[in-house]
Amino acid sequence: MMNITELVTASIVPTPKNDCCDEYSTSTGDYYDDNGATLCDKAAVRQFRMFYEPALYLIIVILGAIGNSLVVWIYTHFQNRLKAMTDVYLLNLALADLFFLCTLPFWAADSFYGWTFGSALCKIVSAIYKINFFSSMFLLTCISVDRYIVIVQTTKAQNSKRIRLLYSKLICVLVWLLAVLLAIPEFIFARSKEDIEGNLLCSMVYWNNENNRTKILVLALQICMGFCIPLIVMIFCYTIIIRTLLKTKNFQKHKALRVILAVVAVFVLSQLPYNSMLVFEATQAANITVTDCTEAQRFDIANQVLKSLAYMHSCLNPFLYAFIGVRFRRDMIRIFSNYGCIQSLKKSKLQGSLHRSSVLTDTDTTNALSL
């Protein structure tokens, strides 16, 4: 699995190879021919990364930390909330996003000073990033499946609540184990190295094999497991859910439909562009066609922008899956009022508003779509 820095700034111009492995320079290092002459100066890309990455990562970290921490706080404060499968998935999703956000300051510092943390921390940070990336995608998939069961197969869901709750905890364990398994390439290939200019990099160094098979394999694994499979499952589940809701006679179903469309739209808009770039990168690894330096620089910058867009999903998850729900907002008001953050009059007005805006409040559809 590729390191985050290499994904951001992956070279598409080949670099010299040694006897043991294939090394792919990132946009933090220039391209050189066999005589050491500069083929493509990446200083402009490094400058862009220095000014663009830290500021955006700071915003993502602040928003994501506040939102996801509040989700964890609510769920740990109200223990009775963890009595549904989706609630268990949401708690694990918030934890995965928080762990993921912890890696961003390292890459922000790397954009300024280079990788000064050593190879061991390079492997650890890269692996933590990939573990929580995969676990987030898998948990979003699990939430989609659970909503499908509750809404489409209502009778079955009602008769198996306890069993499904037990399964949800086992599934979360399996999700984390699978994410760790998929992050093994980070432990194997990620390491700190020094380029010709003396810049320290944290990047993936692959074994030397024909046609860059190792690099293509790890990229294909990330694209399939981290995007294609979750997207297919989400589209299938939410399509059936929409068909089911359209058959109901309750006018409030329209709000539930808007929630579904928002969830799918945000996932596609944030993840599809970046994964399209990864597909292009895998194609380049198999058959290098772009060798122009200007095009390579544009690719690096575009890859970085789209990667940042994909990372914003970690701070949007709480708003899409938790804060939009009536029960969650009610619990949030209760806990804030207990600490004196909300005055009694304002609290009563907010609760009245929540009661009027609730969607199918006493049904399992609400528990699935409006938590």
The mean pLDDT value for 134-141 works out to: 92
Listed in sequence order, the residues at least 6 apart from 167 whose beta carbon sits closer than 8 Å to its beta carbon are: 85
Residue-wise pLDDT tens digits, 204-241: 888 766 667 888 898 999 999 999 999 999 999 999 98
Tell me the domain boundaries of the chain: 4-369
Give CA 34 to chain center in angstroms. 39
Higher pLDDT, 184 or 289: 184
| Cα–Cα distances in angstroms (integers) from residue 249 to residues 253, 254, 360, 362, in the given order | 8, 11, 12, 16
- The total of other beta-carbon atoms located within 10 Å of residue 194's CB is 12
Residue-wise pLDDT tens digits, 307-333: 888 888 888 888 887 777 677 777 777
Residue-wise pLDDT tens digits, 48-105: 888 888 899 999 999 999 999 988 988 887 766 667 788 889 899 999 999 999 999 9
- Return the structure tokens found at 245: 């809701």
Among candidate residues 161, 181, 191, 287, the one with its CA nearest the CA of residue 225? 181
Enter the CATH code of domain 4-369.
1.20.1070.10
- The total of other beta-carbon atoms located within 10 Å of residue 141's CB is 19
Distance CA 29, CA 52 (A): 17
Predicted model pTM: 0.79
